[in-house]
Amino acid sequence: YQESKRINVRVDVKLKEVLETLKPLADAKNIIIDVDLHTISFVSDPLDMIKLFKNPIENAIKYSPEKSKIHVQLHQIDQTLMFQVIDEGYGIPEQFQPRVFERFYRIEKDRIQGGTGLGLAIVKHIVLKYDGSYSLSSTPNEGTSITIHIPMKKIK
């Protein structure tokens, strides 16, 4: 295990890179990704930021119907980084919501879309590593919203 290198990262640029890599997946389902970004520099590990952005957006694409919309927001509010993904997807039944950030937890083992159940566990690990917080709200057949807050501490 290697300690991550934290450098000043333009996180909005990292998010754009992630969106670019996920574009073919979204295009295949005619999903429109609506993006609202602030220009933000943040001392972090660039790889952490890529994983933090990739997993929730990829899930939103995977678990949304064709021709739906996904809203991605990256804002700086005071000294906090706020990242949010809102989809119009299948949603997560209430009884499963507390567990979706657990390692290897998958709502339906026989869902057509394969996965390891690690995506949101990785997100949770990164959020906690930066002393942040995450929340999820979801309504079946209406969509899911994942919101992440990370304090933008200055490295001493």
Residue 110 has pLDDT above 50, yes or no: no
Tens-digit pLDDT profile for residues 27-50:
999 999 999 999 999 899 999 999
pLDDT score recorded for residue 122: 87
Residue 111 has pLDDT above 60, yes or no: no
Q: For residue 95, what are the contacts with CB-CB under 8 A and spacing of at least 6?
A: none
pLDDT category, 1, cuts 50, 70, 90? very low
Q: What is the average pLDDT score of the chain?
A: 86
Unique residue bearing structure tokens 């520099």: 41
Compare 4 and 132 and report the one with higher pLDDT: 132
Cβ–Cβ under 8 Å, residues 149 and 94: no
Range 85-111 average pLDDT: 74
pLDDT category, 3, cuts 50, 70, 90? low
Element (H, E) at 17: helix 11-28
Residue 117 has pLDDT above 60, yes or no: no
pLDDT score recorded for residue 109: 47
pLDDT score recorded for residue 11: 96
Give the pairing of strands 32-37 and 80-87: unpaired
